[in-house]
Amino acid sequence: MNKDIQLQDLGSKDFKETWDYQEELFKGILDTKIKNRRENAGLETTNYFLFVEHPHVYTLGKSGDVSNLLLSEEQLKEKGATFYKINRGGDITYHGPGQIVGYPILDLDNFFTDIHKYLRFLEEMIILTLEEYGLKAERSPGETGVWLDVGTPFARKICAMGVRASRWVTMHGFALNVNANLGYFDNIIPCGIRGKAVTSLNVELGKQTVDEDEVKEKLLKHFTTLFESEFVKEKA
């Protein structure tokens, strides 16, 4: 089992370009697994973890309702945003500057074959990272992602998640609001959940900006502990 993970920070990159790149890596792992099964080739599969920041974009998961996007095509253009229906789970979400997006593309056969556990580990990575900033983040029953003040009238989401998996290979991932422009969330019903607010780490800490590289380091530290893995840096 290969527990090494190739880490790539793509910087700021268009959503569709990144999606295509994810699909390419995802297909490469699947092809290796199929070859192993058919030919007993014994080849190791490669694991990847992509960090990226997207220009303003709204994405709708396969179980989502397009009515949760509250903008027309013209209004999207006015806001400099794009919209895509994509092949992850979940409903609608927003990605944009000031948000850390992580796409683990893993062969779970190298770790554990349990999607529920995989999602809980991603949530735990976020919870442990936010704890380092003095925030008590939690899961909200029946709602994937990470929240603050769960069970109160002030519940607010700080991290959205949505994944796709096939033959135990994952893609898509999480979006953590660090220095995000929260106004863009006003144009959707986030994750199809009415009446719940969205927040960002800088808002919670009362800071103009939070060091995103520092947050990434903390995320990776907790990821390696949870998944008992090692990162191998690779230039994208």
Residues with a known catalytic role: 191
H runs (alpha helix) in the chain: 15-39, 73-78, 115-131, 201-205, 212-227
223, 229 in Cβ contact below 8 A? yes
The answer to whether the annotation marks 5 as part of a ligand binding site is no
The answer to whether the annotation marks 139 as part of a ligand binding site is no
Spatial separation of the C-alpha atoms in residues 226 and 106, rounded to whole Å? 14
The answer to whether the annotation marks 95 as part of a ligand binding site is yes
Q: Which residues contact 235 (CB under 8 A, 6 or more apart)?
A: 8
3-state helix/strand/coil string of 91-102: CEEEECCCEEEE
The answer to whether the annotation marks 92 as part of a ligand binding site is yes
The answer to whether the annotation marks 116 as part of a ligand binding site is no
Residue 5 has a CB neighbour count (10 Å cut-off) of 24
The answer to whether the annotation marks 115 as part of a ligand binding site is no
**CA nearest 25: which of 181, 171, 162, 195?**
171
Spatial separation of the C-alpha atoms in residues 209 and 211, rounded to whole Å? 7
The answer to whether the annotation marks 174 as part of a ligand binding site is yes
The per-residue DSSP string of 3-49 comes to: -EEEEEEEEE--HHHHHHHHHHHHHHHHHHHHHHHHH---PPPPEEE
The answer to whether the annotation marks 88 as part of a ligand binding site is yes
The answer to whether the annotation marks 162 as part of a ligand binding site is yes
Spatial separation of the C-alpha atoms in residues 29 and 114, rounded to whole Å? 18
**CA nearest 172: which of 85, 88, 94, 91?**
88
Instruction: Output the known binding site for substrate.
Output: 88-95, 160-162, 173-175
